[in-house]
Amino acid sequence: MAEANAPNIALDLLSIHSIITRALSVTSEKSQQFAQGGFPDASTKEGFLCYARSFVSVIHGHHVTENELAFPYFREKLPDAPYDLLIAQHQELVHVLDEIKATIEEVSAEPQAAAALNKLNQGLRRLADLWHPHIGIEQDRFTVARLGALINRDEHIRLGKLFAKHSQKHTGPGYLVLPFLLYNLAPEERAIFARNMPFLLTRLLVPVVWKARWAPMRPFLLD
């Protein structure tokens, strides 16, 4: 029997999906709450904006990595998955994400921003309608068992690091995106996900050097 939590690129995809899925539900819920009751203080507003901007950046980076690295690689190993459909779905998601990105800046520009927050909430709902069926297909096709049987352990490790590095190149800023990634996961899943990250990032930069910079996002993250 395979070692539990052995390096497997499908596990990394599941983690990133669960980060994005959690952030989608947090931003939806909070945009509605702040639209109705206003922001309690300036720090909460700043934290919400940092969190929402990180969310957009991470989902963008994830699509780019799938389009440019994961799908071309998987196409060789698993030719029967609907790659063209998945790429077309990414394009639909990009349209909604562009609107969401602009709306986040409208929220930023207004003091209480009830109208912009409502608009943001509607955009997030449309995103959720596209996101859930999309990851349903990916998680159905790119399973731990299937990829585990097709790719050896060293190759899973190599791909994990390669995909993480590629995503990081297309996301930013690191002092927000890295803590956003780590702390949208529960501790056990976080430890598995952090395997692809340099020790310096997870042990020094995120918890110590950058701590004050991402602190306003704390209310939206997990411990």
- Is residue 207 within 8 A of residue 13, CB to CB? The reply is no
CB of 215 to Fe ion, least distance (A): 29
CB closer to Fe ion out of 12 and 138: 138
CB closer to Fe ion out of 84 and 154: 84
Site map 26..65 versus Fe ion, x via CB under 5 A: ----------------------------------------
CB closer to Fe ion out of 111 and 133: 133
Q: Which of residues 123-182 bind Fe ion (CB under 5 A)?
A: 138
Site map 60..99 versus Fe ion, x via CB under 5 A: ------x---------------------------------
- Is residue 124 within 8 A of residue 24, CB to CB? The reply is yes
Q: What is the token pair recorded at 203? A: 């042990």
User: Is the bond into 173 cis (omega within 30 degrees of 0)?
Assistant: yes
CB of 41 to Fe ion, least distance (A): 35
Please, is 195 exposed, middle or buried when counting C-beta atoms within 10 Å of its C-beta (0-12, 13-18, 19+)?
A: middle
Q: Which of 134, 108, 111, 129 is nearest to 47 (CA)?
A: 108
CB of 86 to Fe ion, least distance (A): 6
CB closer to Fe ion out of 64 and 215: 64
**Considering the rule CB under 5 A, would residue 12 count as an interface residue with Fe ion?**
no
Q: Which of 90, 64, 68 is nearest to 168 (CA)?
A: 64
Residue 174 CB neighbours (<10 A): 14
Which chain residues interact with Fe ion by CB under 5 A? Answer: 66, 138
